[in-house]
Amino acid sequence: MALVEINFDGIVGPSHNYAGLSLGNLASTRNAGHVSQPRAAALQGLDKMRANLALGLAQGLFVPHPRPHHAWLGALGTSYADADPGLAANAMSASAMWAANAATVSPAPDTRDGKCHLTVANLKTMPHRSHEWPATLAQLRLAFADAVHFAVHDPVPPAFGDEGAANHMRLAPGHGEPGVEVFVYGVTGGPFPARQHVEASRAIARLHGLDPERTLFAPQSEDAIAAGAFHNDVVAVANGPVLFAHEQAFAERDALVAACQRLVPGFEFVEVPAADVPLPDAISSYLFNAQLVTPPDGQTTLVVPEEARETASVWGWLQRHLAGNGAIRRVEVVDVRQSMANGGGPACLRLRVVADPATVDPRFIADPAKLDQLAEVVARCWPEEFHNDDLQAPALIADIERARTALLEALDLTELA
């Protein structure tokens, strides 16, 4: 069985909006109330998937959740028409587009039973995300239904917050080789909540059957959380034997690096000093919320948003690193401005799964023809733009529901309706 890394991107849903619901996510707060462009956002996401395919990477997809979430509102004793605007915005959120928060994934080489394990994230910290997991779990159970190769777990009980792969990293000599899994958790972060609880991380490690000797638990820097790094993947990303991080990412940096040096053959630590790239620049540009990948040519590649090129300190550091023959050999730039404006960069939009693509339900695997088909649906059905004041307009709701139905029909995934 050929194990490769598959990047599963969330298709941006037709209800994409700027309601500013995510406390601690500075971009989300800054752009609250702005006019959103769901069609442009979804097309940008599809173009990013095309760019991954052009690099020779395996690409998967997840579909938007049903919005508004009528059942959730019903459980709260109201309806979408009667809900106050704040509650209605929570029920209309398109944040499931950020597939990095869908689940935590441990590939088969790391687990006791030799299966790839996935635990759906409970996302309990934020109301607008706390009701995502049932629809996410339904997709995971379809996409990874092959019980010989996959085990899909229910969420960790909500007493302990779990935000999925955004706080999880894996280091290994190669994707198909045994690796070291790093769970990054928060304690406090000034005025903002720390979203990943250490007990949730420990529970997932046990559920996945990970080797305790090759499983690390690292506290996130309080300074990073307070500066707007609401998830670890805003300040650090790993791929193969390379850990790429900001100097202020981890509370116990030296201990983490020493453990990785001991456990990961060929480990390389690429650290960006705060003197070169101040933490606010790293967060606003999403330098680390990039896709660090290894295409078939073996050249470790960093896929960054346009904002990284537009931030002088960040682009200057990247150019010096490339010129110095560092671990990162190539930088690719993608336009995901609509996602960035809501606080999600290229890495937020994808969940990494190391598996044989032949063991995955093919409806969730992308190729150029399928992406062209989806782009046609988006161009025809997604709202071009709307303001938050319109979120409860009956005509908009009908358009959003029809658009999602058209997408499911195009993918033959109507069982998710």
Residue 189: what pLDDT? 63
Buried b (16+ CB within 10 A) or exposed e, 189-208: beebebbbbbebbbbbbebb
- pLDDT tens string, the chain, 417 residues long: the values are 689 999 999 999 999 988 766 555 555 567 666 789 999 999 999 999 999 999 999 999 999 999 999 999 999 999 998 999 889 999 999 999 999 999 999 999 999 999 999 999 999 988 999 999 999 999 999 999 999 999 999 999 999 999 999 999 999 999 999 999 999 999 766 677 778 999 999 999 999 999 999 999 999 999 999 888 889 999 999 999 999 999 999 999 999 999 999 999 999 999 999 999 999 999 999 999 999 999 999 999 999 999 999 999 999 999 999 999 899 999 999 999 998 887 789 999 999 999 999 999 999 999 999 999 999 999 999 999 988 888 899 999 999 999 999 999 999 999 999
CATH number assigned to the domain comprising residue 8: 3.75.10.20
- The pLDDT, as a whole number, for residue 26 is 56
Q: Look at the block and give the residue holding tokens 């406090």.
A: 188
Catalytic positions: 163, 231, 348
DSSP letter for each residue of 33-63 = TPPB-HHHHHHHHHHHHHHHHHTT-EEEEEP
What CA–CA distance (Å, rounded) separates 17 from 392? 12
**In whole angstroms, how far apart are CA 186 and each of 8, 104, 183, 217?**
26, 16, 10, 10
Q: Please, which residues bridge with residue 301 across strands?
A: 293, 330
What's at 26, amino acid-wise?
L
Question: pTM for the full model?
Answer: 0.95
pLDDT at 20: 61
Determine the structural domain holding residue 193 and report its residue range. 4-416
Q: Partners of 272 in the beta sheet? A: 246
Total tally of structural domains belonging to the chain: 1
11 closest CA partner among 35, 36, 44, 34: 44
d(CA 237, CA 275): 20
